Amino acid sequence: MAENVIESCINLDNDQIIESIQNTQYKTWKIDNKMYNKDSEEHKRYEIFKKWKCGNINIRSGKERDEGAKLYSITKEISKVGLSFCCLQEIKYRNSGRKLIQLDTGEKYEFLWCGTKKRRTAGVGIIIRVDKEIEIKDPDICDPRLMAIDLKIFGFNLRIINAYAPTEISSDSLKDNFYRILRKASVKREKHQKILVMGDFNAKTSIAYRKCDYDGIKLV
């Protein structure tokens, strides 16, 4: 395939070279040293692996009053890079809930969050693309600093834990409670399920760890 691309690029200007490569790049697929057309039955038979991408962002002071602008712009960026879901920290929404976000492109995303009841502090959330291949279940653990949710993406069982750890200046009781919930959440709920822990752990390592930093020790 590479030789065909090179031969087709001889005596062409830059724009024609780019166009030639784009038109030729995905026309064939190599399996067991045999070339198959992308639309052939042989190719479809081997195309069994699905790809998905995820991300994590500390959005820093989300605030409900900014949801019409900031959250929409974040969702748009998530769409641009093609993420199936993205975990968010420090959203500062009160209580817990879910809402549907529709972009101007027609794409839809579901936003689930959990925050404190009164003060707008901490808060975690997750934005998930609405897709027939993505099965979304209700979060089974909801805490202003930790959310655990089960997803099925292209038939793949996944348990996502979105964590926002207390900072170093927080009280020991708050830290102990957070890591106790984290340990409880990090348990498989289904057979063949994989656990993915994401978030902002506010942890220090290296020199801080050697000086017995609390969060560093807890992570290790």
Pair type for strands 134-136 and 141-143: unpaired
Q: How far is the C-alpha of 184 from the C-alpha of 5, rounded, in Å?
A: 54
CATH number of 54-219: 3.60.10.10
Rounded to two decimals, what is the model's pTM?
0.71
Contact 130, 122 (CB under 8 A): no
Domain ranges of the chain: 2-46, 54-219
Residue in the structure block whose two tokens are 């900014």: 66
Cβ-based neighbour number of residue 35 at 10 Å: 13
Contact 53, 83 (CB under 8 A): yes
What is the chain's pLDDT, residue by residue, as a tens digit (220 residues)?
Answer: 444 444 444 444 555 544 544 444 444 444 444 554 555 565 555 555 678 899 999 988 655 555 567 888 999 999 999 999 999 999 888 889 999 999 999 999 999 999 888 877 889 999 999 999 999 999 988 899 999 999 999 888 999 999 999 988 889 999 999 999 999 999 998 888 999 999 999 876 555 555 554 554 554 4
